[in-house]
């Protein structure tokens, strides 16, 4: 490399350094601000997680203390005083309260408490569906089979986590109403569903046998065709 080329390269490098320093002086505060924001965001996220853990632990302790009371009525009263901070926490406390009310013999109050959870639009669907399912079960003596069936049908929609359990209850309402043909149709659908569990399939099979149908014999006949 000639001396002139070396001199030009040195000058070019110097110019680049000067430009870099000038850019750092002009815009360096942006990089510092970004670093500060990243660190502050990470600190805030960790603080928020710690607050959520502390809140969950406090709620758990309060619920356990309430459930340690001697009588169901006392546990209901204690659960009503548990402080909650989020709709999800309120739903958990309400469902526990409903369970204790049912144990105390006040099924109407328990069902009403569960339905108040089921009707809340600010709760995740899983809480609402579970509360409605339990409320319908507690309302067997107060509602006709047709009315309970209509309630379970809302839980039997595709995609519902309680779909097959709701269909089982629908079949039971048909049996209660003396409509065995309709009940068997529903039970067959549950039995043949790809998502059915072994326990549910066993219960469905027992119901089908009780209604006079032998699923094993039916399957064997279908296989020989």
Question: Domain ends where: 116, 142, 168?
Answer: 142
Contacts of residue 189, Cβ cutoff 8 Å, sequence gap at least 6: 167
**What is the band of 224 on the pLDDT scale with cuts at 50, 70, 90?**
very low
130, 95 contact by CB (below 8 A): yes
pLDDT at 5 over 60: no
Question: pLDDT, tens digit, for every residue of 44-77?
Answer: 788 778 877 877 788 888 888 888 888 888 998 9
Helices within 68-177 (DSSP H only): 72-80, 87-103, 107-118, 125-138, 145-155, 163-176
Same domain (yes/no): 219, 190: yes
pLDDT at 7 over 60: no
pLDDT at 45: 83
131, 118 contact by CB (below 8 A): yes
Q: Tell the burial category of 225 from Cβ atoms under 10 Å away from its Cβ (0-12, 13-18, 19+).
A: exposed
Structural domain contains residue 62? no
Dihedral of CA atoms 162, 165, 167, 170 in degrees, nearest 10, equals -120
Q: What does the DSSP 8-state code read for residue 156?
A: S
Q: Report d(CA 214, CA 206) in Å as an integer.
A: 9
Among the listed residues 148, 150, 204, the one whose alpha carbon sits nearest the alpha carbon of residue 176? 148
Same domain (yes/no): 185, 129: no
pLDDT at 11 over 80: no
Domain that residue 186 falls in: 146-225
Average pLDDT, the chain: 83
Among the listed residues 119, 120, 65, 52, the one whose alpha carbon sits nearest the alpha carbon of residue 79? 65
**What is the band of 221 on the pLDDT scale with cuts at 50, 70, 90?**
very low
Same domain (yes/no): 129, 181: no
Same domain (yes/no): 157, 208: yes
Structural domain contains residue 126? yes
Structural domain contains residue 219? yes
pLDDT at 173 over 90: yes
- Residue 114, Cα to own-chain centre: how many angstroms? 15
pLDDT greater at residue 102 or residue 220: 102
- Ranking 77-81, 135-139, 219-223 by mean pLDDT, the lowest is 219-223
Question: Domain ends where: 142, 166, 186?
Answer: 142
Question: Domain ends where: 96, 114, 142?
Answer: 142
Mean pLDDT of 100-112: 90
Structurally, the chain folds into a number of domains equal to 3
Same domain (yes/no): 179, 215: yes
Structural domain contains residue 66? no
pLDDT at 117 over 60: yes
Same domain (yes/no): 138, 151: no
What is the distance between the terminal CA atoms of the chain, rounded to a whole angstrom? 92
Same domain (yes/no): 137, 151: no
pLDDT at 6: 62
Mean pLDDT of 111-135: 91
Share of the chain above pLDDT 90, in %: 40
pLDDT at 43: 81
Share of the chain above pLDDT 70, in %: 81
Question: pLDDT, tens digit, for every residue of 179-196?
Answer: 999 999 999 999 999 999
pLDDT at 169 over 80: yes
Same domain (yes/no): 110, 95: yes
């Amino acid at each position: 490399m000639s001396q002139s080329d070396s001199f030009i390269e040195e000058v070019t490098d110097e110019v680049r350094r000067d430009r870099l320093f000038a850019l750092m002086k002009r815009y360096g505060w942006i990089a510092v601000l970004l670093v500060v924001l990243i660190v502050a965001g990470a600190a805030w996220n960790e603080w928020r997680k710690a607050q959520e853990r502390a809140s969950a632990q406090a709620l758990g302790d309060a619920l356990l203390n309430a459930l340690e009371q001697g009588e169901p009525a006392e546990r209901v009263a204690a659960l009503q005083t548990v402080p909650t901070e989020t709709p999800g926490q309120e739903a958990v406390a309400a469902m526990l309260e409903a369970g204790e009310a049912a144990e105390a013999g006040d099924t109407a109050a328990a069902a009403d408490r569960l339905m108040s959870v089921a009707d809340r639009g600010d709760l995740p669907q899983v809480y609402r569906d579970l509360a409605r399912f339990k409320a319908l079960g507690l309302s067997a003596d107060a509602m006709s089979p047709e009315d309970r069936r209509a309630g379970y049908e809302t839980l039997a929609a595709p995609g519902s986590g309680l779909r097959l359990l709701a269909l089982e209850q629908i079949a039971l309402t048909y049996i209660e109403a003396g409509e065995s043909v309709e009940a068997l149709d529903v039970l067959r659908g549950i039995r043949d569903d790809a998502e059915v569990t072994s326990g549910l399939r066993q219960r469905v099979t027992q119901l089908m046998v009780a209604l006079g149908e032998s699923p094993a014999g039916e399957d064997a006949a279908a296989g020989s065709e």
